[in-house]
Amino acid sequence: MIDLSQVTVGFGGRMVLADVTFSLQPGDFFFLTGPSGAGKTTLLRLCAGAMTPAEGEVRLFGRPLSEMTSDARAGARRRMGIVYQDTQFLDHLPLEENILLPFTVRGPVDAEMRAQAQDLMTWVGLGGHRAALPPTLSGGERQRAALARALLPAPELVLADEPTGNLDWEMSLKLLTLLIELNRLGTPVLMATHDLALIRAAKPMVNARVLRLKDGKLTQAGAAL
Amino acid sequence: MSLADFLRGAPGAGRVVPSAGLTTRLVAFGTAAMAFLAVFAIALAVMLIRLGDSWQVDLAGTATLRITSAGEAREADTETAMEVLRTTPGIETARVVPPLEQQALLEPWFGKDMPFDTLPLPRLIEIETTPEGFDARALGLRLAGEVPAARLDDHDRWRAPLARAQARMTGLTLAALALIAGTLAAVKALAARAALAENAQVIDVLRLVGARDTWIARAFVRRITLQAAAGAVLGVAAAAALLALIPGTGAAGLPALRPQGLAWAMVLPVPVLAAAVAWFTTRRSALRLLKGRP
Ligand SMILES: Nc1ncnc2c1ncn2[C@@H]1O[C@H](COP(=O)(O)OP(=O)(O)OP(=O)(O)O)[C@@H](O)[C@H]1O
Ligand SMILES: [Mg+2]
């Protein structure tokens, strides 16, 4: 569904990704680890079609990114559930409107969509914050909201950048379990995380692979984890 | 994105752009100022066109002959001149202006107490020409021979430069209107640019959730266009109020700057045009800028 082949990205002469090849297929569950600044976010942004590589090819749903119009990229993004690390909201809109955005940009929002959003918000523990403005929420609350927004339109795949970074253990496990449930239904998941304990906790539940990004190289971590 | 789409508005698109941006308020102000100037330029253009028309109507086809000789010679010269005029082709009628009528013409300028009968006033002959007109040069030569004290004033002599000046002023006014429209477009392009820069995060979020560029652009364009329209309405209202305060009849026989009757309707399209310019330019620059952003 997403294919990066021999992709190279550099910022100001510094190589962040060097000759990286990666493929996300239906049913896959990947953890992406690596030191801070290794390029995890960069790799996720490539997968989301939010940037283009200096070299190599990115294919989204089989189509080369370089040949996609901006409308086609938007179309591809509608099939993805994306959670960025610094969760992004429209700060002047209430949380519920923010979570409904994937529907808003597609067309009219109906009562059923609203009910769906409210269910999801309640499930991630934000039922009481529907009218809150994003800047007034805690870091963990915003992360939960971002995940709720990403999952609301039933995406075909999930790209999540540190979705549990600010969460307590219990909430982290709860969200991880949700992603694993989705994955069992066939939705591929790529999740960047520093949390090795979380990866270990996932092990009995899902056949996940752990990728490690370091010095621009992407490797599959050993069975040690 | 068609105009119909735009007027209907994308559902929810209006709210995704924060409203209180400095840019949108400056846009409203700039548009109000431009609309204000546009109304005055239009009023000026209408006045100039009317001025030209009134000259055409009042003065075309007329001429005046002045008999400047003194004493008894004046009556004799007037007789001779009338004879000459009667035999000049292209002259419809010639009429000696009676002294009393002439006095009435001068009174507004010199007052009632002026001793008109003691003044060496020239005798005036009013001439109306046929539509084809007469040969002013030939008539001038003939009069020079037969009535040296006659001075022909065929009005074209001073009407032509005035008409030229009027045409030039009208042109300048129209150029000013074009400049105003151009400035408006430039302001809108800058506004779109500033609004998109101010709201980089909004664009990132909208892209993240799969918004198309046209949808994002529409949200910004709608906001800026509505602000522009509101500003233009204010500017036009202010200018119209000021124009209405100007006296209805102009000084020294000039038509008034204040539009009369239907001419007022000329200012109505200003807000619509301002909004159209805003819509077109903002949309263009927004789409171009979005295209430039990954
Ligand atoms: N837009 C950018 N311009 C310049 N440098 C960038 C940009 N984006 C990323 N970088 C650099 O690329 C490197 C990798 O960044 P990236 O965000 O992908 O790291 P990361 O693995 O996600 O780190 P973390 O675990 O801290 O989130 C960093 O050194 C960062 O400074
Ligand atoms: Mg990162």
Amino acid B269 reads P
Taken in order B100, B102, B105, B111, the sign of the CA dihedral is negative
Which among B131, B154, B177 is the end of a domain? B154
Number of domains within chain B: 2
**Hey, which residues 36-95 in chain B have their CB within 8 Å of chain A?**
none
Other beta carbons less than 10 A from residue A188's beta carbon:
21
Residue B159 lies in a domain: no
Examine the domain organization and report whether B142 and B206 are in the same domain.
no
Most confident of A123-137, A208-222, B47-61, B218-232: A123-137
Sequence length of chain B is 294
Q: Which chain A residues have a beta carbon less than 8 Å from that of B212?
A: 70-71, 74, 105
Which distant-in-sequence residues (6+ apart) come within 8 Å of B155 by Cβ?
B59, B62, B63, B64
CA distances from B282 to A184, B5, B196 (A): 47, 16, 10
Helix H or strand E encompassing B152: strand B150-153
- Report how far apart the first and last C-alpha atoms of chain B are (Å, whole number): 21
Fold assignment, A27-38+73-220: Rossmann fold (3.40.50)
pLDDT at A145: 93
Examine the domain organization and report whether B180 and B267 are in the same domain.
yes
pLDDT digits (tens, 9 = 90+) for A164-206: 888 889 889 988 998 999 999 889 999 999 888 899 888 888 8
Examine the domain organization and report whether B237 and B255 are in the same domain.
yes
Pocket of ligand 1 (CB under 6 A): A 11, 16, 34, 36-42, 85
- Supply the residue whose CA is at minimum distance from atom 31 of ligand 1: A37
Examine the domain organization and report whether B71 and B133 are in the same domain.
yes
pLDDT at B170: 83
In chain B, which residues have pLDDT < 50?
Answer: 1
Question: Measured in angstroms, how far is the CA atom of residue A11 from the centroid of ligand 1?
Answer: 9
Residue B97 lies in a domain: yes
Residue B163 lies in a domain: no
Question: Measured in angstroms, how far is the CA atom of residue A87 from the centroid of ligand 2?
Answer: 11
Examine the domain organization and report whether B109 and B144 are in the same domain.
yes
Which distant-in-sequence residues (6+ apart) come within 8 Å of A102 by Cβ?
A78, A149, A152, A153, B209, B210
Domain ranges of chain A: 27-38+73-220
Stated pTM of the model: 0.72
A90 touches chain B (CB under 8 A): yes
Complex confidence, ipTM: 0.89
Examine the domain organization and report whether B92 and B222 are in the same domain.
no
CB A142 within 8 A of CB A87: yes
Distance CA B76, CA B72 (A): 7
pLDDT at B137: 79
Which among B127, B154, B181 is the end of a domain? B154
CATH of the domain at B105: 3.30.70.100
Residue B26 lies in a domain: yes
Q: Which chain B residues have a beta carbon less than 8 Å from that of A51?
A: 294
Examine the domain organization and report whether B224 and B241 are in the same domain.
yes
Residue B238 lies in a domain: yes
- Per DSSP (E only), the strands in chain A are 2-11, 14-24, 29-33, 55-60, 63-64, 80-83, 157-161, 189-192, 209-214, 217-220
Q: Exposure string (b/e) for A28-54, b if CB count within 10 Å is 16 or more?
A: bbbbbbbeeebbbbbbbbbbbbbeebe
Q: Which residue of B has its CA nearest to A66?
A: B294
Question: What residues make up the domain containing B81?
Answer: 61-154
Examine the domain organization and report whether B74 and B108 are in the same domain.
yes
CB B220 within 8 A of CB B286: yes
